[in-house]
């Protein structure tokens, strides 16, 4: 059991002589490594901030830790502050986050790889810790409520929402920035959000994402099935 935020565990592996420290305050890492015997690959990965699960799979870990399917999932909403929420939760020593968005339930090609693949994307954790991942696309993807329920009907789901118009502007701004980086034409906000007669274009995906009721009603159909999703938790 991890008892406090300052609690540290240290391990020296025989093979690489890597010195590992459990640091629950670390930003992007389940484990921070330091000192003796790090191989070059590890050094450059740490320097560049590279923290993909592919790399984690090769990193040393404590003998009593395992990768576990998440008991808690932040399902959205995109641009709702999901990253900040995940990082805040991860400060708690009993929480272990997946660093990357896994997109297991909303991406058919990933879903087809099965739960064992999904489990392997998760961080190592102690038995008492809660594994958590966030993929904001889950909230708006049709197949996701059923798929998550099929994995675990008592998984805890967190939905964080934001003023729908502010969220739309934030979503548009990110998409526009991505397009600009690729030197593609960026349509104005009015162009994509409004029809010439001034009505709102609800076919534009960022607009649709902000119509929370479209998706909420889909999730609510599963509320009875989710034993732990009570009235407050589902908001």
Ligand X SMILES: Nc1ncnc2c1ncn2[C@@H]1O[C@H](COP(=O)(O)OS(=O)(=O)O)[C@@H](OP(=O)(O)O)[C@H]1O
- Which among 132, 124, 128, 131 has a CA at the least distance from the CA of 53? 124
Is the Cβ of residue 70 or residue 136 nearer to ligand X in the bound state? Answer: 136
Q: How many CB atoms lie within 10 A of CB 109?
A: 7
Quick check: is 181 catalytic?
no
User: Peptide bond before 77: cis, by omega within 30 degrees of 0?
Assistant: yes
Q: Which stretch binds ligand X (CB under 6 A): 58-66, 79-87, 149-157, 193-201?
A: 79-87
What distance in Å separates the CA atoms of residue 89 and residue 192, rounded to the nearest whole number? Answer: 35
83 near ligand X, judged by CB under 6 A: yes
Please name the residue that has the structure tokens 């690729």: 182
Consult the annotation and say whether 76 binds a ligand: no
Q: Which of 47, 79, 97, 156 is catalytic?
A: 79
What distance in Å separates the CA atoms of residue 189 and residue 137, rounded to the nearest whole number? Answer: 22
Which listed residue (93, 136, 145, 206) binds ligand X by CB under 6 A?
136
Q: Which stretch binds ligand X (CB under 6 A): 33-41, 57-65, 73-81, 145-153?
A: 73-81
Is the Cβ of residue 61 or residue 78 nearer to ligand X in the bound state? Answer: 78
Consult the annotation and say whether 82 binds a ligand: yes
Residue 78 contacts residue 209 (beta carbons within 8 Å): yes
Consult the annotation and say whether 162 binds a ligand: yes
Which listed residue (39, 44, 84, 115) binds ligand X by CB under 6 A?
84
164 near ligand X, judged by CB under 6 A: no
Which listed residue (170, 206, 215, 229) binds ligand X by CB under 6 A?
170
Give min distance, CB of 76 to ligand X, in A. 8
Which listed residue (56, 61, 67, 79) binds ligand X by CB under 6 A?
79
Which listed residue (67, 78, 96, 122) binds ligand X by CB under 6 A?
78
97 near ligand X, judged by CB under 6 A: no
Consult the annotation and say whether 114 binds a ligand: no
Q: What is the 3-state secondary structure (H, E, C) of 195-212?
A: CCCCCECCCCHHHHHHCH
- What is residue 137's three-state secondary structure? helix
Q: What is the CA radius of gyration of the chain?
A: 20
HSE (side-chain half, CA atoms, 13 Å) at 191: 6
Pair type for strands 66-67 and 124-125: antiparallel
**Binding positions:** 79-83, 162, 170
Site for ligand X, rule CB under 6 A: 78-84, 136, 170
**Binding positions for 3'-phosphoadenylyl sulfate:** 79-83, 162, 170
Catalytic site residues?
79
């Amino acid at each position: 059991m991890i008892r406090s935020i300052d609690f540290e565990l240290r391990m020296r592996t025989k093979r690489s002589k890597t010195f590992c420290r459990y640091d629950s305050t670390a930003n992007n890492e389940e484990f921070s490594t330091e000192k003796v015997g790090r191989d070059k690959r590890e050094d450059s990965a740490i320097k560049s901030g590279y923290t993909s699960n592919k790399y984690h799979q090769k990193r040393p870990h404590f003998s009593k830790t395992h990768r576990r399917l998440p008991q808690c999932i932040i399902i959205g909403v995109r641009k709702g502050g999901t990253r900040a929420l995940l990082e805040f939760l991860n400060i708690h020593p009993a929480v272990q986050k997946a660093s990357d968005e896994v997109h297991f339930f909303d991406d058919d090609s990933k879903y087809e790889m099965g739960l064992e693949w999904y489990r392997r994307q998760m961080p190592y954790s102690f038995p008492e810790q809660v594994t958590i991942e966030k993929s904001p696309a889950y909230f708006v993807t049709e197949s996701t409520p059923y798929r998550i329920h099929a994995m675990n009907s008592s998984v805890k789901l967190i939905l964080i929402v934001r003023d729908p118009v502010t969220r739309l502007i934030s979503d548009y701004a990110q998409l526009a920035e991505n397009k600009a980086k690729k030197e593609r034409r960026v349509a104005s906000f009015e162009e994509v959000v409004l029809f010439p007669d001034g009505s709102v274009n609800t076919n534009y995906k960022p607009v649709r994402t902000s119509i929370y009721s479209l998706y909420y009603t889909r999730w609510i159909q599963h509320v009875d099935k989710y034993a732990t999703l009570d009235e407050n938790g589902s908001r």
